[in-house]
C-alpha cells in the first residue's frame, strides 16, 4: 500500500522521443533548454537516485514555463520522503518521518508503514507518534501491524492508540497482549479498558478491579475514576472498607472523582484514618462534594510540610496565604511545591521560586514526580547533579526534567505580563538554551510592545549566537520592521552544508510525563533550522521553493528528507 504512489510514477512516465522517434540522450550534447521537456522524467530520475539531473531538468522546465509546477514538486518531495523511509539507516528513517509531518495524508501513511516495519525501536515509536496525529480509518490497519512488533514498547503504545480510537478489535487484542506480558506490567492495562468504555471493555475492567494483584486493583480503581466509568461505582464503593491501606487510598480518591454523594459517611470515616495519604485523599473527595471545611485539615498537613497536601492546596480556594508562608521554608522541596501550587492560582508571588526552577545552574537540578503508596496523589521532588545522577538511573530523567521546565514556562505565561517578562529576561541572561525556542514563541504570543522590545534587545545580545538567531527569527515572524528577513536568509546560507537536523533521545510516555509520548524533538540548533525554513515557507512562496530546491541539491544530504517535507509545506 505504501508503495502505491511510488509505483504509479513508473507507469505514468512516457519516454521522450525525438522527431525521428528515438529516445533523446540525456547526456548528449544537446542542452536541456533546447529541447521540449517532459516533466514526467523528473520523478523518474529521482526514483533512479539521480537527484542532480532531476533538479537540473526541473530548473530548465521552470525556465520554459516561467512558473513552478506544483504537481511535479509534490511528486519530488513525496518520492524523497518515501525513499528515505525505506532506507536501512535508522537516522534517515527518523528524518523521513519528521519530514512527512508536512506531507499529504497518503504520503504520511506510506512513510509510517515503512517505518513500522523497521527493525529499530525508535523508528517504530516515532511512527506511532505520527499515527497519533492522524485521523483516518486506515490508521487502524497500521496499528494492527504495530501490534505484531517484536518490541514490547511498540505493542504497548499501539494498544494505547487502539484504545484511544475505540477501535472495534481493540479489546480482544489488548486483552491478549495483557496475558502475554510479564505480570509486573499488567497494571498498565486497566487504563486501556477504561478508555475504551464499551460493555466488553467494562467487563474486563470489572475483573481487574477484583484482581489478586494489588497494584492492578489500584490502577483499575484510579482508571475507572479518571475516565468516569460510573457503572462500576457500586463495586468501588464496596472497597472503601477494604483492609489494605493502598486500596483504601485509591478508593477514597475515586469516590470524589466520581462525585459519589452516597459515600459521604464512608469518606468522613476515611478522613480520620491514621494513614495520612488516606486522610488527604478522603478530604479531597469531601471538598469536591461540597464539604469545604476539610480544607483546614489539608492546610494543617501542608504547614507540617507534607508535599502532597501542599500540591492539593493548589486546587483549593483561599489557600494562597498558607502557600506564600511556605515559600520561606528551609526545605527546598516544600518551597518548590508551594510555588507550583501558587502558579496554578496565577499568583505572581510564585515568580522568584519559579525562576530558580527554570534556570539550570551549577546545582544542575533534576525533577521527578513522587506518588503516595496508593498512587492517588502526586508531588515533585528535586534531585541535584542531574548529569551525574542520570548515569545511575534507568530512565530519561533529563528528558523528564526538560518537559517539566517547559510546562512551568508555559503555565507562567498566565502570570501578569510584567512577571513573565522578568522571568524571560532572566532566562535570556542566564543562557538557558534548552528553553529559548519555547520562550521566543511565548513572547510572540503575548503580542505586546514590551515583548517585542525584549526580543529586539536580545537579538543584539553579545556572546549568545543561538539566542540572537532565535530572536531574529521571532522578529521576522512578527513582521517587525528591520533587517530580520535578511538575517534569516543569511543564517540559512551559512549553515546549509552542516548536518543540522538531529533529534533528542525519545523518552517513553510514563517516564517523560508528557502527553506526546514518542515525539521526535529536534535539538535546539536543529529546531532553529527547521523553524527558520518554516517561516520562510510561509512568507514568500516562490523564493522559498527556490531555496528548498537549492538546499536539497547542495546542502548536507542528511537534511534533504526534512527539507522535502518543508518543500511540501511551501507548496500549500
Cα separation, 106 vs 176, whole angstroms: 31
Split at pLDDT 50, 70, 90, the class of 2 is very low
Predicted pLDDT of residue 15? 37
Residue 453 lies in a domain: yes
Residue 94 lies in a domain: no
Split at pLDDT 50, 70, 90, the class of 367 is very high
Number of domains in the chain: 1
Give pTM, 2 decimals. 0.85
Q: Which of 7-16, 116-125, 126-135 has the lowest mean pLDDT?
A: 7-16
Does residue 563 surpass a pLDDT of 80?
A: yes
Average pLDDT, the chain: 89
Residue with cell string 494489588: 214
Cα separation, 468 vs 462, whole angstroms: 8
Residue with cell string 518515501: 82
Using N-to-C axis directions, what is the helix angle for 152-164 and 170-178, rounded to 10°?
150
**In this prediction, what percent of the chain has a pLDDT beyond 90?**
72
Predicted pLDDT of residue 571? 86
Residue 421 lies in a domain: yes
Predicted pLDDT of residue 18? 36
Burial class of 383 by CB neighbour count within 10 A (0 to 12, 13 to 18, 19+): middle
Range of the domain at 426: 415-465
User: Do 470 and 440 meet the contact criterion of CB atoms below 8 Å apart?
Assistant: yes
| 339-360: burial string, b at 16+ Cβ within 10 Å, e else | bbbbbebebbbbbebbbbbbbb
Cα separation, 70 vs 568, whole angstroms: 9
Residue 374 lies in a domain: no
Cα separation, 252 vs 377, whole angstroms: 11
Residue 386 lies in a domain: no
Cβ of 61: how many Cβ atoms within 10 Å? 20
Residue 445 lies in a domain: yes
Query: 478-498: per-residue pLDDT in tens?
Result: 999 999 999 999 998 888 877
Widest CA span of the chain, in angstroms?
99
Cα separation, 171 vs 166, whole angstroms: 9
Predicted pLDDT of residue 60? 93
- Average pLDDT over every residue of 248-254: 98
Predicted pLDDT of residue 501? 63
For residue 84, the number of C-alpha atoms closer than 13 Å in the C-beta half-sphere is: 30
Q: Which of 468-472, 501-505, 538-542 has the lowest mean pLDDT?
A: 501-505
Predicted pLDDT of residue 394? 82
Query: 24-68: per-residue pLDDT in tens?
Result: 444 444 454 456 788 889 999 999 999 999 999 999 999 999 899
Does residue 12 surpass a pLDDT of 50?
A: no
Split at pLDDT 50, 70, 90, the class of 189 is very high
Does residue 105 surpass a pLDDT of 90?
A: no
Residue 433 lies in a domain: yes
Residue 126 lies in a domain: no
- Average pLDDT over every residue of 416-428: 97
**In this prediction, what percent of the chain has a pLDDT beyond 70?**
89
Q: Pick from 178, 175, 191: which is nearest to 227 by CA?
A: 191
Query: 394-415: per-residue pLDDT in tens?
Result: 888 998 999 999 999 999 999 9
Q: Pick from 29, 48, 26: which is nearest to 38 by CA?
A: 26
Amino acid at each position: 500500500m505504501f508503495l502505491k504512489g511510488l509505483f504509479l510514477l513508473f507507469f505514468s512516465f512516457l519516454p521522450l522521443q525525438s522527431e525521428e522517434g528515438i529516445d533523446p540522450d540525456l547526456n548528449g550534447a544537446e542542452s536541456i533548454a533546447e529541447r521540449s521537456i517532459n516533466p514526467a522524467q523528473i520523478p523518474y530520475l529521482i526514483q533512479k537516485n539521480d537527484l542532480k539531473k532531476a533538479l537540473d531538468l526541473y530548473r530548465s522546465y521552470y525556465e520554459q514555463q516561467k512558473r513552478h509546477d506544483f504537481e511535479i514538486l509534490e511528486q519530488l518531495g513525496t518520492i524523497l520522503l518515501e525513499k528515505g523511509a525505506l532506507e536501512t539507516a535508522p537516522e534517515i528513517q527518523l528524518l523521513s518521518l519528521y519530514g512527512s509531518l508536512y506531507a499529504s495524508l497518503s504520503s504520511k501513511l506510506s512513510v509510517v508503514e515503512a517505518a513500522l516495519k523497521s527493525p529499530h525501536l525508535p523508528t517504530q515509536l516515532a511512527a506511532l507518534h505520527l499515527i497519533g496525529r492522524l485521523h483516518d480509518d486506515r490508521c487502524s490497519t497500521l496499528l494492527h501491524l504495530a501490534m505484531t512488533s517484536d518490541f514490547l514498547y511498540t505493542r504497548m503504545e499501539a494498544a494505547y492508540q487502539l484504545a484511544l480510537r475505540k477501535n472495534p478489535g481493540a479489546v480482544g487484542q489488548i486483552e491478549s497482549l495483557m496475558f502475554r506480558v510479564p505480570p509486573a506490567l499488567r497494571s498498565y492495562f486497566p487504563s486501556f479498558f477504561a478508555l475504551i468504555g464499551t460493555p466488553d471493555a467494562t467487563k474486563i475492567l470489572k475483573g481487574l478491579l477484583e484482581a489478586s494483584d494489588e497494584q492492578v486493583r489500584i490502577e483499575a480503581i484510579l482508571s475507572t475514576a479518571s475516565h468516569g466509568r460510573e457503572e462500576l461505582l457500586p463495586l468501588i464503593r464496596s472497597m472503601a472498607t477494604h483492609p489494605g491501606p493502598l486500596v483504601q487510598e485509591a478508593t477514597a480518591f475515586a469516590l470524589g472523582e466520581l462525585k459519589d454523594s452516597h459515600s459521604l459517611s464512608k469518606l468522613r470515616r476515611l478522613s480520620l484514618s491514621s494513614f495520612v495519604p488516606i486522610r488527604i485523599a478522603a478530604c479531597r473527595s469531601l471538598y469536591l462534594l461540597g464539604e469545604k471545611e476539610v480544607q483546614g485539615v489539608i492546610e494543617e498537613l501542608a504547614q507540617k510540610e507534607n508535599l502532597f497536601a501542599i500540591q492539593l492546596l493548589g486546587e483549593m480556594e483561599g489557600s494562597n496565604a498558607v502557600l506564600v508562608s511556605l515559600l520561606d521554608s528551609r526545605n527546598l522541596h516544600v518551597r518548590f511545591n508551594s510555588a507550583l501550587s501558587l502558579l496554578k492560582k496565577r499568583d505572581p508571588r510564585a515568580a522568584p521560586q519559579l525562576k530558580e526552577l527554570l534556570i539550570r545552574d551549577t546545582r544542575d537540578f533534576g525533577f521527578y514526580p513522587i506518588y503516595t503508596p496508593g498512587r492517588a496523589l502526586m508531588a515533585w521532588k528535586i534531585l541535584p547533579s542531574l548529569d551525574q545522577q542520570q548515569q545511575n538511573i534507568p530512565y530519561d530523567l533529563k528528558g523528564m526534567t526538560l518537559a517539566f521546565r517547559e510546562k512551568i514556562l508555559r503555565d507562567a505565561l498566565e502570570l501578569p505580563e510584567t512577571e513573565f517578562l522578568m522571568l524571560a529576561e532572566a532566562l535570556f541572561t542566564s543562557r538557558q538554551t534548552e528553553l529559548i525556542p519555547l520562550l521566543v514563541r511565548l513572547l510572540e504570543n503575548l503580542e505586546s510592545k514590551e515583548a517585542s522590545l525584549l526580543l529586539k534587545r536580545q537579538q543584539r545580545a553579545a556572546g549568545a549566537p543561538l539566542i540572537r538567531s532565535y530572536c531574529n527569527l521571532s522578529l521576522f515572524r512578527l513582521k517587525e520592521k528591520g533587517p530580520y528577513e535578511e538575517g534569516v536568509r543569511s543564517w540559512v546560507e551559512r549553515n546549509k552544508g552542516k548536518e543540522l537536523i538531529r533529534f533528542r533521545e525519545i523518552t517513553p510516555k510514563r517516564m517523560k510525563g508528557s502527553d506526546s509520548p514518542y515525539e521526535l524533538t529536534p535539538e535546539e540548533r536543529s529546531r532553529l533550522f527547521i523553524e527558520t525554513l518554516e517561516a520562510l515557507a510561509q512568507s514568500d512562496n516562490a523564493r522559498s521553493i527556490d531555496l528548498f530546491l537549492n538546499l536539497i541539491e547542495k546542502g548536507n544530504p542528511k537534511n534533504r528528507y526534512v527539507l522535502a517535507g518543508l518543500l511540501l509545506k511551501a507548496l500549500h
